[in-house]
Amino acid sequence: MKIKDMKQAVELFINEWDLGEKESGASRKLCAWIYLMEILEETEQFVYYRENGKMLGFAGYSNENSRKHLIKKKFYHFIKNQLYKSKEIKDLNALKEYEDNYYYVPEELKNYFDGEISMLILDKNCRGKGIGKKLLLEVFELAKKDKMKNLQILTDESCSYGIYEKLGCKKIYETIVKNKEYGKLGNVLTERAFIYEKKL
């Protein structure tokens, strides 16, 4: 991902999620950069949606068994760890707890998938036009060409998870997590979280 795209990805994140801002005491922008480094570290390939040269959405997938892009992935991991050292972060443990809250894969599914949809995000003004569906279909096709058989999708009720069902993904797990995205679902303390499977 080019630097220009990275900056636009961070803007998308800032407009969509808190990303541990309140827990960590850090700015949402810093939290968004940390999250982006995590996504870049794990993602095999991205597809993008652009208008007038501006990136307004993207999707990607990870491949558990990939040996490609290792140097790049190590670089993003290094940058993420450097960002964790920022003096702006008042409570690093709380930030990491926020991150762990949204990784709720049960033990029996930890080695089940070939990979995962690592990201799907679209500018709010572009939604409802079939763009998210198009991005996902492109990602599924890339993963299939990468000899992957099944993809994991982690999502929750604060997201538009119905898109996955429309594209033939099957819900195979449901749990309850703490609602860390303040205001997304009102003042509720918990939310439902799901794992979907896409067979390729």
139 burial via Cβ count (<10 Å: 0-12, 13-18, 19+): buried
Residue 190 pLDDT = 87
Q: Which pLDDT score, from 0 to 100, does residue 40 have?
A: 96
pTM: 0.91
SS3 of the chain: helix, strand, coil, percent, to 5: 40, 30, 30
The segments of the chain whose pLDDT lies below 70 read 182-187
The pLDDT value given to residue 101: 85
